[in-house]
Amino acid sequence: MRRSCRFLGVAMLSLAVSYSFFSPVMAQERAKLTKYEPFKLTADLSHLSDKQRQMIVLMIEAAEAMDGCFWVQAYGDQESLLAGISDPELREFAEINYGPWNRLDGNKPFVEGFQSKPAGANLYPADLTVEEFNQHLEQNPNDAEAFKSLYTLIRRDEKDRLVAIPYSRAFYTEFLLAAQKLRQAAKLAEDPGLKAYLEARADALMSNEYRESDMLWMDMKDNALDIVIGPIENYEDQLNGYKAACEAYVLVKDLSWSERLRKYAAMLPELQKGLPVPAAYKQESPGTNSDLNAYDVIYYSGDCNAGSKTIAINLPNDEEVQLQKGSRRLQLKNTMRAKFDLILVPIANFLIVPEQRKHITFNAFFSNTMFHEVAHGLGIKNTIDGQGRVRESLREAAGALEEGKADILGLYMVTELFNSGQLSEGELEDYYVTFMASVFRSVRFGASSAHGKANMLRFNFFKERNAFTRLDNGQYRINIPELKIAATELTNKILKLQGDGDYEGARKFMDEMGFVGPVLKEDLQRVERAGIPTDIVFEQGVEVLGLEPTSPAKGGR
């Protein structure tokens, strides 16, 4: 059972006034579990030294501490929720979703007694509105830095005043445990870059200051192992988009695949110059120290383990680090392969016309995903009028637009590199058809996440521009010339919204395009009736890898 985090005397607001968990579970609720296909998360560890194997155990034990912290951020008291659900399958579904809301179905409640998920999850008081938040900052301007920080919870004190609590205090016990495990792993590290990063990340968890550890993480080049840990992404915060959620990945580098990818990061500056937008929207220079590698994941924890599972990582999110050092793109090969074999191929065989199915390849899927992550480094991080960061200007709309940008610029990069001969595997049609087939895979995640919104924006934009045709038999033919034109138009639109910091325009675009229409909804229901899973759920942990824990296991699916 996962650990719950404690708040050092700060009371959490309940997210439901009253509820009952003991009513009969309806068949459709029980059937939701079939959306997830079990997958054993393993990797080849035979080339690792004894010290590296010991490090893996310590890293996993550090990662486990993030799980309970994310439970608090996403919902609240995990133990009371799970203890109150009598049906074991529904309880497992709550564990997969880190709460009573279905992440693959627009965050609809699936436990009786719960209403809609608060936009700010449990990162803020459940009843807090954007208006009250902004009003507080107008009246208390000195609170702005702490309240907008990625690394604070917002709570009400005993006098009902809003206060900001640093994560390092709110999650002190869990962060301390993780920091201790990271320091123990650092003592075993043979790679000096990894050793320095582990020590700095342990310090960051206790200080709430992450930039130095992000810089050191960027400096690592020769590490066979890696761990991404701490408060990272801000997708869970759909109130303001300010707060980062806790998560962790434990990773083993695939050396042969990584060697194949090494050359692409150096091409970013030239690709930036060629973006199909006016010069003002591509004036920034992406860092050239970016790293592009393939990894097998051996443990997911917290935010990245909730609902749909991440298949690639682009970090750090700190714009200053990105501008100075670029970013690292980690392709999670074993998870990617599982989603391709178990989900994408069956969907393509169901929805794509037979004559185009030969273009559905793992190489194209891997490359499209890889260039999605690389494309996060393209475009613009600051508004062109000098008024601040794009992320702050677009608030809760920033995440969906950024994911949409990465999707479409990834396709732009594939086209440019293929036409220049830098990308030579397969045919260009492989990348386009696989890209569109993958939209059918990822659009099933619904509208509750930034990735889900981005998928629907792209699908509906392409539909309007005849980038694909739906035949009478319910299968789709990809119209590649029209898709190329639509991709350029969408690139231009998103980069301008970002560069202008156009919040109203972004919201209007999402309202107009960010929905699942009735025909697509019926097609997705046909896919579901065919028994094709929506995503995967992991069997993972120290024991799954055949290793010995240093302390009693604390959970992990």
DSSP-assigned letters across all residues of 389-404: BHHHHHGGGHHHHHHH
Helix ranges restricted to H, 208-361 = 211-219, 255-261, 268-273, 319-325, 333-339, 345-351
In whole angstroms, give the CA distance from residue 316 to residue 277: 25
Interaxial angle between packed helices 480-500 and 450-464, expressed in degrees from 0 to 180 and rounded to the nearest 10: 130
Identify which of 35, 55, 93 has the alpha carbon closest to the alpha carbon of residue 298: 55
Nearest residue to 295 via CA among 261, 327, 326, 263: 261
Number of CB atoms found within 10 A of residue 47's CB = 9
pLDDT at 327: 82
Q: Tell me what pLDDT residue 4 has.
A: 33
Q: How far apart are CA 292 and CA 286, in angstroms?
A: 14
Q: CA-CA distance, 61 to 514, in Å (whole number)? A: 39
**What is the C-alpha separation between 41 and 296, in angstroms, rounded?**
9
State the DSSP code for 189.
-
Say if residue 396 is exposed, middle or buried (CB neighbours under 10 Å; 0-12, 13-18, 19+).
buried
Whether the ω angle into residue 552 lies within 30 degrees of 0, i.e. cis, is no
- Per-position pLDDT tens, the chain of length 557: 333 333 333 333 333 333 433 344 444 555 555 589 999 999 999 999 999 999 999 999 999 999 999 999 999 999 999 999 998 989 999 999 999 999 988 899 999 899 999 999 999 999 999 999 999 999 999 999 999 999 999 999 999 999 999 999 999 999 999 999 999 999 999 999 999 999 999 999 999 999 999 999 999 988 999 999 999 999 999 999 999 999 999 999 988 778 777 777 677 788 888 888 888 888 887 765 667 889 999 999 999 999 889 988 889 999 889 888 888 889 999 999 999 999 999 999 999 999 999 999 999 998 898 888 778 878 888 899 887 888 888 888 888 889 889 888 888 889 888 988 988 889 999 999 999 999 888 887 665 566 777 888 889 999 999 999 999 999 999 999 999 999 999 999 999 999 999 999 999 998 888 888 899 889 988 998 898 998 999 999 999 999 988 865 444 43
DSSP 476-516: EEE-HHHHHHHHHHHHHHHHHHHHHT-HHHHHHHHHHHSS-
pLDDT at position 22: 36
Specify the 3-state DSSP secondary structure of 536: strand
Please check whether residue 530 is in contact with residue 537, taking contact to mean a CB–CB distance below 8 angstroms: no
Name every residue whose Cβ is closer than 8 Å to that of residue 189 and which is 6 or more positions away in sequence.
51, 55, 195, 198
Say how far apart CA 262 and CA 252 lie, in whole Å.
Answer: 17
Q: Which residues contact 194 (CB under 8 A, 6 or more apart)?
A: 186, 220, 223, 225, 226
Q: Rounded CA gap, 295 and 516, in Å?
A: 33
Burial of 27 (0-12, 13-18, 19+ CB in 10 A): exposed
Q: How many CB atoms lie under 10 A from the CB of residue 528?
A: 15
